[in-house]
Structure 1
């Protein structure tokens, strides 16, 4: 149960599990975007000057994170909608908005590349707040809005007046920050990292999207790209790649940080002031809070 009302099932849960199973089988969580997210999350966790004892990891790049956290003496539990990942790592197979853990079970939750495909995102954030101990830390990362705009433009041009969705909708920074605050998480901070990439082949770009579980999992009937349309997409891709043979694409990765409420926490800055960075929030919170 969560504190939220019923939400429409925007994403097909069964399709989501299949896509995440395939992504895990393809890359084992070591895909290009997951590596970037994992490295950045670990760097941000290093800023926190406190000791964590029990962590929940949700997401595909769990193996890399487990190794790093266990070297710090942290007990790690896994959860993901990917049955193959959960089985391989001895974790719990569940959706992010249906986490089956008791209140105050963890002092650290890391969600990697998963929150952008949740039917009840407010409910998922509420659940994470509940299963964190007071003053527990939540960190998350996922591909956000303003990503793959070049590819989307090429597909739209190729499909003409019969455009269909092939990449799921994504979340922006402002929306993520508002949702964390609404869920009762304290000192919420959302910031982003903009990547400017060059691809020599359309297949490599599509593969990177699939490896991170970015295939379309919207509810309802899916319309696949026809073979003739795909050939047009390839032609436009090659044309836009130009003489250098490199297609320019941009990807924005969104990083979230927030804490479970605790009476001794410093008073948060006014929402929307934008005066405190994620690194500053982590550092200040770690210094001012006593270990649990």
Structure 2
């Protein structure tokens, strides 16, 4: 029986374009990077806790080179790749033999997540560690409610489906990782306006890459979105929630 074709939830070309725009926006000195910074800090802390000092590391999505610099400071040889620049996460990697593969904020928008995890594991040498962090289920509750208000009686697909902790743990087991761990944490971020939140999402590569994306918001819908966002504010700020899922496991 031929293998099942994964559903086409995300548009790869649209995904690459959104990440290329993110790379350009991140050149600004005041570009928001709090999600990526949190993921990198978490990876560094996990490596210290596990006393795992990699000699050869593969980093996916380390767009500023911050994690690369931290690992190289310990003597690691680091290879970095970026999906926006042609790296294919849903195909076998062209290299292997790493004792660390870390993916930062990319695996939430691949169509074949089990396949992508298998490729990560195969890139590891025996005894190598895999760590991935990305936005998870429960993220952007305010934006979800705002979009429903904006679309009124004709809701459209605008927010990505996301993986939760339980599904993440099951995926690690399914794809052959040893000692799999899935956990989530949240970040609360306050925004002064609807436009500011959208700008932050755009600058961090978190806008819509669905294959069947909804139509653009019209003027009236945009006004409803702004009003709904303002109605959720307190003291002039609306607090949004980001859930970050981290998956880790070893190759034995």
Q: Which residue of structure 2 lines up, in the alignment, with residue 107 of structure 1?
A: 99
1:276 paired residue number: none
Q: Which runs of 4+ in 1 moved over 4 A?
A: none
Q: Which residue of 1 aligns with 2:182?
A: 190
Per the TM alignment, residue 37 of structure 1 is displaced from its structure 2 partner at its CA by 1.2
Q: Of the candidates 204, 209, 216, which is equivalent to residue 208 of structure 2?
A: 216
1:253 and 2:244 matched? yes
Partner Cα distance (2:208, 2:84) in 1: 16
- The aligned counterpart of 1:75 is 77
Residue aligning to 2:25: 26
SS in 1 for 2:79: strand
Q: Using the alignment, how far apart are the partners of 2:122 and 2:3 within structure 1?
A: 13
Shift of 1:30: 6.1
Cα distance in 1 for partners of 2:246, 2:68 equals 19
1-side partners of 2:213 and 2:243: how far apart? 28
**Are the structure 2 counterparts of residues 220 and 233 from structure 1 closer, same or farther at C-alpha, using a change threshold of 3 Å?**
closer
- Between the aligned partners of 1:4 and 1:197, the Cα distance in structure 2 is 42
How far apart are residue 50 of structure 1 and its match? 3.5
CA distance in 2, matches of 1:124, 1:10: 15
Partners of 2:223 and 2:71 in 1: CA distance = 45
How does the TM-score come out when normalised to structure 2?
0.92
Residue aligning to 1:15:
14
Residues 214-261 of structure 1, C-alpha deviations (whole Å, 9 max, x = no match) = 11111135411112211111122122214x101122111111110012
Whole-angstrom distance in 2 between the partners of 1:153 and 1:30:
23
Corresponding residue number in structure 2 for 1:199: 191
Which residue, 90, 108, 117 being the options, matches 1:97? 90
Larger Rg: 1
**Comparing 154-163 with 139-148, which one deviates more in the overlay?**
154-163
| Equivalences for residues 1-292 of structure 1 within 5 A | 5-28=4-27, 31-83=33-85, 93-102=86-95, 104-220=96-212, 222-242=214-234, 244-261=235-252
SS at match of 1:145: coil
How many residue pairs match? The answer is 248
Q: Distance in 1 between matches of 2:83 and 2:123?
A: 18
Structure 1, unaligned stretches of length 5 or more? 84-92, 262-292
CA distance in 1, matches of 2:157, 2:198: 15
CA distance in 1, matches of 2:88, 2:219: 34
For residues 72-94 of structure 1, what are the alpha-carbon distances to aligned partners after superposition, in whole Å with 9 as ceiling and x for unaligned? 111111122112xxxxxxxxx22
Q: TM-score, normalised by structure 1?
A: 0.80
**In structure 2, what is the Cα distance between the partners aligned to 1:228 and 1:95?**
39
CA contact (8 A) 1:4 1:123 kept: no
Q: Following the alignment from structure 1 to structure 2, what is the Cα–Cα distance between the partners of residues 233 and 160? A: 10
Give the superposition deviation at 1:101.
2.3
The answer to whether the 8 A contact 1:35-1:61 is kept is no
Unaligned runs of 5+ in 2: none
